[in-house]
Amino acid sequence: SQQGEEDPQALSIQEGENATMNCSYKTSINNLQWYRQNSGRGLVHLILIRSNEREKHSGRLRVTLDTSKKSSSLLITASRAADTASYFCADYGNNRLAFGKGNQVVVIP
């Protein structure tokens, strides 16, 4: 079964607001990664959080990891129109990265 499965959703917010999206997974993880994909493009790596970490920040991004609940969240603060994209979480298992369904985020200027 696929690890790193977000609740598939489309999120539409106003510029300046925060965007939160969640990811759940089914088995033990080595690390969990979040990626952004602009329409018709490849994926851009945003942040990697290891299984022994609980929270990580990178600029306007904050990722949390709760291994007891097998879940992760990605928070984008003070969103911008350029943050409009699909966001995927993915987990390393068996030497491969397994992606969830993705969250479509639209930031309205």
**Which residues form the interface with other proteins (CB under 8 A)?**
30-31, 33, 35, 40-45, 48, 50, 88, 92, 95-102
Here the tokens at position 96 are 């491969």
CA distance 28 to 91: 9
Nearer CB in complex with other proteins: 2/18? 2
- Minimum separation from the CB atom of position 102 to other proteins (A): 6
Nearer CB in complex with other proteins: 15/105? 105
- Minimum separation from the CB atom of position 38 to other proteins (A): 10
